[in-house]
């Protein structure tokens, strides 16, 4: 596994959907290198480090985008790096660190809603022996924002709560007009039906529009989005979110699909319908 070039400063390593591994981003300064997310396990972290070495680099800073296992459980392999995370991320990981890591305990947490069924299934796939899980805390935390000068390029780390994770942060590189989105545009998966809540999604979209973005990358994206693609993605999310709100408040949920097709000026596709259901379910949360 190697890093792929987005710009001369921004590189990413593609994740592995079968193992639940997310994309990993490396931001290269003249003096320092920053890596976003630690990987899902020590093996993942090791592959990231070897790929950096092939580029003649090593990580100086590591930022966790949020607390979920696929982004944080590899942190135990980054002991020589200055790692950091939002304060809520640290609190979530402190809780995880105190958990019993065995099959019965994981199943109980899943039954109680402490762990999502999806995450539990993927964790068990990655860690057949759950006693191998080693939760490590970042070396320091920030509250709402952190600016990191890498030499010739700056990383602006910003806490943007989302339905997917209340502790979520994005990373913006103004010199490259690059925005790492992580999983912030994903649904809440700690529930029976994955969903968005109207108010939180609306606030998130407005916040993301505040960045002057030419390139954006999600943790599960196949490639970086250009400016037009990114603007269109936010517009689609807002259109579904607002159309669901209107349909519910005006008693038009039976006509929701036709209202949405009218707003999009095209027939709906499966992804539109999935997003519609996620917003509709979340409207009542």
Check residue 284 and give its pLDDT: 77
Check residue 1 and give its pLDDT: 82
123 domain-assigned: no
Q: Name the percent of the chain lying above pLDDT 70.
A: 100
Q: Determine the straight-line distance between the first and last CA of the chain, rounded to whole angstroms.
A: 41
134, pLDDT greater than 90: yes
Beta strands in the chain (DSSP E): 4-5, 10-13, 24-28, 33-36, 61-63, 82-86, 140-142, 145-149, 154-159, 169-173, 178-182, 215-218, 225-226
Which 3 state secondary structure label does DSSP give 125?
A: helix
Average pLDDT score over residue span 12-26: 95
Average pLDDT score over residue span 180-208: 95
122 domain-assigned: no
Q: Are 178 and 216 in contact (CB under 8 A)?
A: yes
Phi, psi (degrees; rounded to nearest 5) at 151: 95, 100
125 domain-assigned: no
Residue pointed to by tokens 């809520």 = 88
158, pLDDT greater than 90: yes
Q: What angle do CA 48, 44, 62 make, to 5 degrees?
A: 55
Check residue 116 and give its pLDDT: 92
Residue 223, burial from CB neighbour count under 10 angstroms (0-12, 13-18, 19+):
middle
For residue 32, give every residue at least 6 positions away whose Cβ sits within 8 Å of its Cβ, in sequence order, or none.
Answer: 60, 61, 148, 149, 150, 151
Average pLDDT score over residue span 266-284: 92
Residue 197: CATH number of its domain: 3.60.15.10
For residue 77, give every residue at least 6 positions away whose Cβ sits within 8 Å of its Cβ, in sequence order, or none.
Answer: 38, 39, 42, 45, 46, 49
Check residue 4 and give its pLDDT: 97
Question: For residue 192, what pLDDT band results from cuts at 50, 70 and 90?
Answer: confident
76 domain-assigned: yes
285, pLDDT greater than 80: no
Average pLDDT score over residue span 154-175: 98
156, pLDDT greater than 90: yes
Average pLDDT score over residue span 141-153: 97
Check residue 144 and give its pLDDT: 96
200 domain-assigned: yes
Average pLDDT score over residue span 46-64: 97
What average pLDDT is seen over the chain? 96
Q: What is the CB neighbour count within 10 angstroms for residue 229?
A: 13
- Span 249-259, pLDDT tens digits: 999 999 999 99
Question: For residue 221, what pLDDT band results from cuts at 50, 70 and 90?
Answer: confident
Q: How far apart are CA 245 and CA 243, in angstroms?
A: 5
State the total domains in the chain: 1
Q: Are 137 and 97 in contact (CB under 8 A)?
A: yes
Q: Name the percent of the chain lying above pLDDT 90.
A: 96
Average pLDDT score over residue span 8-32: 96
Report CA-CA distances (Å) from 42 to 21, 98, 137, 164. Answer: 12, 19, 14, 24
Which 3 state secondary structure label does DSSP give 85?
A: strand
Average pLDDT score over residue span 160-176: 98
Residue pointed to by tokens 């979340």 = 282
Q: For 173, how many CA atoms within 13 A lie in the half-sphere containing its CB?
A: 29
Q: How far apart are CA 169 and CA 204, in angstroms?
A: 11
Full domain range(s) for residue 89: 4-99+135-283
User: Tokens for 143?
Assistant: 């509250």
């Amino acid at each position: 596994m190697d890093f792929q070039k987005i710009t001369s400063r921004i590189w990413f390593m593609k994740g592995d959907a079968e193992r639940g591994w997310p994309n990993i981003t490396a931001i290269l300064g003249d003096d320092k290198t920053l890596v976003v997310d630690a990987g899902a396990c020590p093996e993942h972290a090791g592959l990231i480090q070897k790929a950096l070495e092939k580029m003649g680099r090593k990580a100086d800073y590591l930022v966790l985008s949020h607390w979920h296992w696929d982004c944080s459980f590899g942190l135990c392999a980054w002991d020589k790096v200055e790692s950091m995370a939002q304060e809520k991320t640290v609190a979530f990981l402190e809780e995880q660190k105190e958990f019993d890591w065995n099959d019965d305990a994981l199943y109980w947490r899943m039954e109680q809603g402490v762990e999502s069924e999806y995450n539990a299934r993927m964790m068990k796939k990655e860690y057949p022996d759950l006693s191998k899980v080693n939760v490590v805390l970042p070396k320091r935390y920030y509250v709402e924002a952190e600016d990191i000068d890498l030499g010739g390029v700056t990383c602006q780390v910003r806490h943007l709560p989302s339905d997917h994770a209340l502790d979520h942060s994005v990373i913006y590189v103004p010199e490259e007009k690059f925005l790492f989105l992580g999983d912030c545009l994903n649904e809440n998966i700690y529930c029976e039906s994955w969903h968005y809540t109207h108010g939180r999604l609306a606030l998130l979209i407005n916040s993301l529009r505040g960045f002057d973005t030419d390139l954006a990358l999600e943790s599960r994206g196949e490639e970086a989005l250009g400016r037009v693609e990114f603007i269109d993605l936010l517009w689609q999310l807002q259109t579904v979110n607002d159309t669901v709100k209107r349909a519910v408040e005006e008693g038009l949920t039976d006509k929701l699909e036709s209202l949405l097709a009218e707003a999009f000026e095209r027939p709906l596709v499966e992804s539109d319908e999935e997003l519609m259901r996620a917003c509709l379910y979340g409207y009542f949360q």
